[in-house]
């Protein structure tokens, strides 16, 4: 079910990302202060946006799980949060490289945008330890869903608070006037954003297909094991007294 058209989706994702980063490298204008090092912006910002959206998506799937008690929604929430945490690591690494090149420091603690993302990332880093500290599968899924909903609601509230805060150093890419990006940077940036979203969807579908196939294989093994045990009991030799 989740493995349909994965080859087409993978090809499309690769094509969009290659086009976006080719345009970013060869046609997008260089920043007057940062020079070529500013090009990491086309990786860092789309990755951050997609990671935050993935956290919110995980919260939405968690709501559906609590509403329906359907375990597939819990799995969708888990995979989305897992991938978003992986992207969050990439965001912090690329952000540190950018900050070092632009500002001379690896992290600027006075900047609310950076600190808020770090807080969100560390919050979600506790998701898996919390989840797998509970042995009962039903309780595990239920508590994980409550966590995902609470943390997912925090993401847009945190984003709004940061937008209202006084900026220090970090640029505002998506502002109200739309004037943060020069014309030559808009097409590569939006292509990179679409490509990163496609990458998230592709990886999400791959992991869902893998987990779904593994669950089916386990169920088949249990069924075959049960049938074999039943056949063994039926075919057991009868011992009669002499």
Which pLDDT score is estimated for 7? 86
Rg (the chain; Cα; Å): 24
Residue 160 lies in a domain: yes
| 86 occurs within a structural domain | yes
- Residue 172, φ and ψ in degrees, nearest 5: -100, 110
Whether 236 maps to a domain, the answer reads no
Does some domain include residue 59? yes
pTM: 0.81
- pLDDT value at position 112? 75
Take residue 124 and report the two structure tokens written for it.
């979600």
Give me the pLDDT at residue 114, please.
Answer: 81
Measured CA to CA, the distance from residue 93 to residue 105 in angstroms comes to 13
In a domain, 65, yes or no: yes
Structure tokens at 115: 């600190």
N-terminal to C-terminal alpha carbon distance within the chain: 59
For the CA atoms of 5, 128, 46, 89, the dihedral, rounded to the nearest 10 degrees, stands at -120
Q: Look at the chain and report how many structural domains it folds into.
A: 1
Residues whose CB is less than 8 angstroms from the CB of residue 217 and which lie 6 or more positions away in sequence, other chains included: none
Q: Does 202 map to a domain?
A: yes
Give me the tens of pLDDT residue by residue for the chain, a chain 242 residues long.
555 678 888 999 999 999 999 988 888 776 656 666 677 888 888 999 999 999 999 999 999 999 998 988 999 999 999 999 999 999 999 888 887 877 777 887 777 778 888 888 999 999 989 888 888 888 999 999 999 999 988 888 777 766 666 555 555 555 544 446 677 788 889 999 999 999 999 999 988 888 877 777 777 777 777 655 555 555 444 434 44
DSSP string, 194-230: HHHHHHHHHHHHHHHHHHHHHHHHHHHHHHHHHHHHH
54 neighbors 27 (Cβ within 8 angstroms): no
Give the model's pLDDT for residue 242.
Answer: 40
Closest-CA residue to 17 (of 204, 202, 191) = 191
d(CA 13, CA 194): 9
Residue 109 belongs to domain spanning: 6-26+39-225
In a domain, 128, yes or no: yes
């Amino acid at each position: 079910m989740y493995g349909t058209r994965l080859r087409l989706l993978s090809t499309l994702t690769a094509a969009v990302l290659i086009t976006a980063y080719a345009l970013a490298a060869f046609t997008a204008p260089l920043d007057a202060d940062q020079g070529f090092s500013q090009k990491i912006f086309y990786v860092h910002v789309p990755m951050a946006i997609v990671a935050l959206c993935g956290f919110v998506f995980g919260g939405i799937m968690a709501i559906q799980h609590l509403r329906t008690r359907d375990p597939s929604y819990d799995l969708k929430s888990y995979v989305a949060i897992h991938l978003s945490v992986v992207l969050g690591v990439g965001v912090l690494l690329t952000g540190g490289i950018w900050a070092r090149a632009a500002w001379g420091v690896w992290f600027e603690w006075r900047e609310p945008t950076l600190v808020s993302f770090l807080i969100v990332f560390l919050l979600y880093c506790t998701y898996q330890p919390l989840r797998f500290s509970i042995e009962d599968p039903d309780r595990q899924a239920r508590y994980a869903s409550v966590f995902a909903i609470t943390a997912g609601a925090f993401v847009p509230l945190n984003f709004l608070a940061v937008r209202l805060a006084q900026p220090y150093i970090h640029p505002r890419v998506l502002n109200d006037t739309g004037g943060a990006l020069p014309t030559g940077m808009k097409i590569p940036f939006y292509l990179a954003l679409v490509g990163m979203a496609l990458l998230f969807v592709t990886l999400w579908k791959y992991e869902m297909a893998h987990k779904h196939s593994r669950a089916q294989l386990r169920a088949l093994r249990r069924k075959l094991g049960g049938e074999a045990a039943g056949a063994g009991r039926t075919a057991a030799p009868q011992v009669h007294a002499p």
